[in-house]
Amino acid sequence: MDMKMMSTGVPSTLFNWHAMCVVFFGEDSAATKFIKDKMDEQGPEEEVVADEGQLLAALVHMDHG
């Protein structure tokens, strides 16, 4: 099965979600820490299968809710 892709054209992995969070929210944000914790638990190449828009909304809410 093919890996899910993000709208940016990169694979939807915890590593790529973490990189995006660092850019948008900063290294010390709640959203970045949440993804980092998941990456530490499951590995950086773990596929993120959640809907991109819904996950992004949840991450924004973590920092600005």
**Nearest alpha-carbon partner for 18 in 5, 37, 2:** 37
Residue type, 62: M
The pLDDT assigned to 63 comes to 82
Residue spans of the domains in the chain: they are: 14-64
The pLDDT assigned to 36 comes to 98
Which pTM does this prediction carry?
A: 0.93
Please state, in angstroms and rounded to a whole number, the distance separating the CA atoms of residues 40 and 60.
Answer: 21
Per-residue pLDDT tens digits for 10-64: 999 999 999 999 999 999 999 999 999 999 999 999 999 999 999 999 999 998 8
Please state, in angstroms and rounded to a whole number, the distance separating the CA atoms of residues 8 and 62.
Answer: 22
Tracing tokens 């820490």 back to the chain, one arrives at 33
The pLDDT assigned to 64 comes to 81
Q: 3-state class of 26 per DSSP?
A: coil
The pLDDT assigned to 35 comes to 98
The pLDDT assigned to 6 comes to 97
Q: 3-state class of 46 per DSSP?
A: coil
